[in-house]
Amino acid sequence: MSKAALNGSSSGSQRLRFDFRHHPESGSSSYAVYRYLADHEDQSGMGLREQVERMLRAFWLPFAYFNNPSISSCFKNQTAVAAVAELESRAALIRRMYNLPAQPTAAPAALPNALPDVLPSQPDAERSRTEEKPPDVDMNPEDYAYDCTELDDL
């Protein structure tokens, strides 16, 4: 369950308080994700919260900025490029881990609206596979060279 609230301060700045508590059941896909993140916290150099926020930003930030008139078109595009780089690096890692083709051979007719909630049981051999460390891609839009000169004419 989550709860979001907008809090103002006397200085005029606002903070969004977002409380998120989740207690996934063992054997669920959510449990597997949080267990993986918790187990790999030290390897990544980021805490659990930072890892979750990083992926949330990569997936949702371009959508959050898209219709925001107070953000420049150039910065929106830089953000989109950084998000795509982050997501594509994760997709490439998944392809390598599962020996999938570099690019899908055909687009699926329809994307599933949800991943399975309950994971199939895995043999011990599958669980003990060597895990690759995800590439370190920091989603900082200023680090991505995006030519904004063509946007000046719009």
d(CA 93, CA 95): 5
**What's the start-to-end Cα distance of the chain, in Å?**
42
**Residue 33: partners with Cβ closer than 8 Å, 6 or more residues away:** none
Average pLDDT for the chain: 75
pTM listed for this prediction: 0.64
d(CA 51, CA 98): 22
The pLDDT value recorded for residue 128 is 39
Other beta carbons less than 10 A from residue 50's beta carbon? 13
What does the pLDDT look like over 86-139, one tens digit per residue? 999 999 999 999 999 987 666 556 555 544 455 455 444 444 344 444 445 455
**Residue 142: partners with Cβ closer than 8 Å, 6 or more residues away:** 78
Give mean pLDDT, residues 27-36: 92
